[in-house]
Amino acid sequence: MIRIFSSLLIVLLSQGTSLLALDITAQGGSVIIAPGKAQIGDKVITVTQAATLAIAPAPVLSVTHEALTLSVDKPVGYAKGTKLRACNARDVNAAGSFVPGSLEIRRTKDGEPLKLDEDYLVDEVWGLVGLGPKSQVTAKDPVFASYRHSLLRMDTVQVSLEGKASLKQGEPHISAPVPPDADSGNVAVAHVFVNYRDTEAKQDQIYLITETSAQAVTGSTPGRLTKTLAKLKAGQPVTIVCWGDSVTAGGNASKPELRYVDVFSAGLRTRFPQSKINVENISVGGSNSRQWLSPEQFSYRGLKGAENPARIENVLAAKPDLVTIEFVNDAGLTPEKVEAQYSEILERLKPTGAEIVLITPHFTMLKMMGFKTMREAEKRPYVLGLRAFAEKHHLALADASAPWEHLAKEGLPYLTLLHNTINHPDDRGHLLFAEELWKCFP
C-alpha cells in the first residue's frame, strides 16, 4: 500500500538570495524532519541528517465512580448542567476533553447503568450532564459517573549544534499545555500540538518556529500619553483605572499578581519608582461597554441602581489620570458602531480629563473568531474598527491582538493560551496584554 502524506514546507528568505527551508512531515505516529536549514531571528539552524521522531498519543485517562447529582438544567454548551470534574479547566469544562460514548452513570457503584437520553443527558463537547426526560432519579439523588477524558500536549522538535534533530515531550494539560524549552545546546525549531484523543501526528498540528516573539509587529502607539508620562517622570502621583470585562478582572490567571492589570502596574512601578501609582481594576466579568454606558437600558444580569457594578459612574468616581479600556465582549461591534459607541465613551470620560488607552482584544475560540484554523490573520470588524478609531482620535492603542496573531509564527497554536478553551487567557496570555500596554510608555 502506498502511504500518501503531505509535507509542510516553510520557506524563509535570508538576507541574501538563497532560500532557507525546513521540511517536517507528519506520517503515522511520527514526524519526519529532512536535512536543511532555517532561520529563526538572527540564528541559522542546520539539520544535517534526516530523523524520524515518534509522537506519543494524547493521554486518555479514566475516572471511576465520581459522585455527583444531576442538574435539572439541560446540558447544552458550557454553562448549564453538572460538570464532570476531570474535564474542568478552572471555571468551565474544557471543550473536547470528554471522550464521547465513554460515560456510564449508576445509582450505586455496582448497580445497573442508567439509560442515556432517558435517565440522563450529556453534552459530549463540554462534558456536562443533567436529568433526562424519564429519569429514575431526581436532582437530589447522588449518582456515580464513570468516564474517560483526554488531555492536550505540546512537544518540541529541537536541533543540536551538531545538526541532530530530536523530540522533547511536553507535560499534558487539560487546556493550556506549555511546550518544553529546548535542552542546553539545542534550538527549538517546531512544536507539535497533540490534540485531545489524537493517536497519530497530524500535518496541520506541526507549528514551525519561523520568528521570535520580538519580531511581532504590533500597532501599539508610543508617545500618545504625554500628560500621564510627564507626571510619572516628575514623580507625581498618578491614578490609572483599568476598565473592562472578565479578562481585565483576571479571568484564568493562576494568581492575582499574574493578571495583566497587576503585571502592567508592577512594571510601571519598577520603571517609575519615584511616582506613587494607584491602579484601580474596575471590571465586571461578562459585561460589555454598552451596559456600562446605559445600565438602566442594558442592565447587567438584571441588576438595577447601585446593585449594578457595571456603571461608568464607578470609573468617573476614581478621578483617573489614565483609563485603559478592554472589552472582548464588544467584539460583535462593526466599525460604524465602534465609532458611535466609543465616541460616547470619550464624551462620558471627558470631564475627568483622563488620557485613554484602547486595548484590542486577544484571540478567542475559533467559532467566535470566524476562523477555521489557528493560523489566520486578525479580521474581526471590531478590532479593525478600534484600531481606526484610535488613529482617527489620536488615542493611545495597546494592540494586544497583534501578538496573539503572531503566536503561530512562534510555533504556538493560540488556543493553547486560552485556559478555559473559550476566551480567558492563561498567564502567558495576560503577559501579552501587559507588554503591549508598556509600549505606550516609551
d(CA 284, CA 243) in angstroms, rounded, equals 9
> 12 pLDDT band (50/70/90 cuts)?
very low
Q: How many CB atoms lie within 10 A of CB 13?
A: 10
Q: What is the DSSP string of 67-120?
A: EE--BSS---TTTSSEE-GGGEETTEEPTT-B-TT--EEESSTTSPBPPBTTTE
Residues in CB range of 297: below 8 A, 6 or more apart: none
Mean pLDDT score, 21-47: 94
Q: What is the pTM of this model?
A: 0.94
Query: Beta strands 19-27 and 206-208: pairing type?
Result: unpaired
Predicted local confidence at residue 234, as pLDDT: 98
Name 332's bridge partners.
Answer: none
Query: How far apart are the C-alpha atoms of 58 and 197, rounded to whole Å?
Result: 5
Cell of 240: 490609572
Domains observed in the chain: 7-56+152-210 (no CATH), 60-150 (no CATH), 215-438 (3.40.50.1110)
156, pLDDT greater than 50: yes
CA dihedral 295→296→301→303, nearest 10 degrees, is 110
Cβ burial 243-263 (10 Å sphere, 16+ → b, else e): bbbbbbbbbbbeeeebbbbbb
Cβ atoms of 8 and 25 within 8 Å: the answer is yes
Q: What is the mean pLDDT of the chain?
A: 94
Of 38-47, 64-73, 81-90, 286-295, minimum mean pLDDT range: 38-47
- Mean pLDDT within 377-398: 98
How high is the pLDDT of residue 376?
97
Given a cut of 60, whether residue 72 has pLDDT beyond it is: yes
Amino acid found at 383 = V
- Strand 355-359 to strand 396-398: parallel, antiparallel, or no bridges (unpaired)? parallel
250: nearest Cα among 43, 387, 89, 433 = 433
Residue 21, pLDDT score: 67
With a CB cutoff of 8 Å and minimum separation 6, the contacts of 388 are: 335, 338
Q: Is the pLDDT of residue 314 over 60?
A: yes
* Mean pLDDT value across residues 153-160: 98
**424 touches 175 (CB < 8 A):** no
Tell me whether strands 128-131 and 82-83 are parallel, antiparallel or unpaired.
antiparallel
- pLDDT of 14 higher than 80: no
Mean pLDDT, residues 63-77: 97
Cell numbers of 364, please?
478567542
Instruction: Determine the pLDDT at residue 127.
Output: 98
Segment 125-147 mean pLDDT? 98
pLDDT tens digits for 255-296?
A: 999 999 999 999 999 999 999 999 999 999 999 999 999 999
Segment 222-248, tens digit of pLDDT? 999 999 999 999 999 999 999 999 999
Residue 4: band (very low, low, confident or very high) from pLDDT cuts 50, 70, 90: very low
What integer is the mean pLDDT of 138-155? Answer: 98
State the average pLDDT over residues 410-418. 98
